[in-house]
Structure 1
């Protein structure tokens, strides 16, 4: 199990770095939003590209930080029901959920969104709005985000099985998430 735990740590490291970097995009989006609002009010000038940049940045944060949020155990859970089960049962529910729901859904989203991105990239698809931005970078975020989420799902599955087998302590006891 040691090589798999090393893989899990590597996946966690990548998603930690991406999550910490991507969260700064919120600040960039807020600054763009504020500047755009000030310019619009002060000079009666507006720009579709600045509006689209805000949307793309918020989308980037959502897609790139989903895996970071999973790593930190921050996703919504059904604790009202599950909290009545034993720790071991909750661990098995996590394993079941990752294997039969999270990972297949991520795979489906990657398979379905990759051609969507690829067509956009090959055509250098542009927004239909005047002064709009290229669309392929935003469309790339969908398969990229689900790929990172699938990787993190594998990492969480490895950790959960290691916890069940007694090979590592519970990574979420403090409520802070992994590592």
Structure 2
């Protein structure tokens, strides 16, 4: 189990590093939004590129930040059965959810996203808007983001199995994760 936990921690570090990029995209997006508003109102000058780069950055924020949010156990969870359970029962619910819901959904989206992104790269797809940007970089974020989500799911599965086996504390699945409540 030690090697699996080492893999889990490596995945956590990878997604933690990628989340820094997502954090910087938040700042850049805000700066671009403010700069665009300033130039539009002060100089009556704007470009569709400024608007498009904002939504492209939002895609990066979401797709690159989601695996870290999952790692930190800050994702949306339907708390129908979960909240009133003890730690061990929560671990079993998580394992069941990962196997039967999370992995099928995320892998299916990854399967669909790859050809979508690759066709955009091969065609050199650009926006149809005047002054628009190239689109393939943002479309490549789809398979990248969902691949990172698959990796984080593997990490979370390893941690939960280790906790069920008594090889990791059930209340602290990851080093920086809040304890399960």
Distance (whole Å) between structure 2 residues aligned to residue 139 and residue 128 of structure 1: 15
User: Could you say if the C-alpha distance between residues 154 and 173 of structure 1 is closer, same or farther in structure 2, counting changes exceeding 3 Å?
Assistant: closer
TM value normalised by structure 1? 0.94
Q: CA RMSD in A?
A: 1.8
- Contact 1:15-1:152 at 8 Å conserved across structures: yes
User: Could you say if the C-alpha distance between residues 171 and 23 of structure 1 is closer, same or farther in structure 2, counting changes exceeding 3 Å?
Assistant: farther
Distance (whole Å) between structure 2 residues aligned to residue 26 and residue 9 of structure 1: 26
Q: Secondary structure at the match of 2:170?
A: coil
Return the offset for 1:115. Answer: 0.6
Render the CA deviation track for 1:27-81: whole Å, top value 9, x for unaligned. 0000000000000001111100011001100110100011010111110122353
- Contact 1:73-1:172 at 8 Å conserved across structures: no
Q: How does 1:126-137 map to 2 (within 5 A)?
A: 126-137=126-137
List structure 1 segments (4+ residues) > 6 angstroms apart after TM superposition.
Answer: none
TM value normalised by structure 2? 0.93
Number of equivalenced pairs: 178
Render the CA deviation track for 1:68-127: whole Å, top value 9, x for unaligned. 101111101223531222321111010011111111111101110111111110010000
Aligned to 2:26: 26
Distance (whole Å) between structure 1 residues aligned to residue 87 and residue 6 of structure 2: 24
Aligned to 2:156: 156
- Contact 2:71-2:152 at 8 Å conserved across structures: yes
Aligned to 2:146: 146
Q: How does 1:9-24 map to 2 (within 5 A)?
A: 9-24=9-24
Distance (whole Å) between structure 2 residues aligned to residue 71 and residue 171 of structure 1: 14
Q: How does 1:14-163 map to 2 (within 5 A)?
A: 14-163=14-163
Distance (whole Å) between structure 1 residues aligned to residue 93 and residue 80 of structure 2: 14
Distance (whole Å) between structure 2 residues aligned to residue 51 and residue 11 of structure 1: 33
Q: Secondary structure at the match of 1:127?
A: coil
Segments of 5+ residues of structure 1 without an aligned counterpart are none
Segments of 5+ residues of structure 2 without an aligned counterpart are none
Distance (whole Å) between structure 2 residues aligned to residue 104 and residue 85 of structure 1: 25
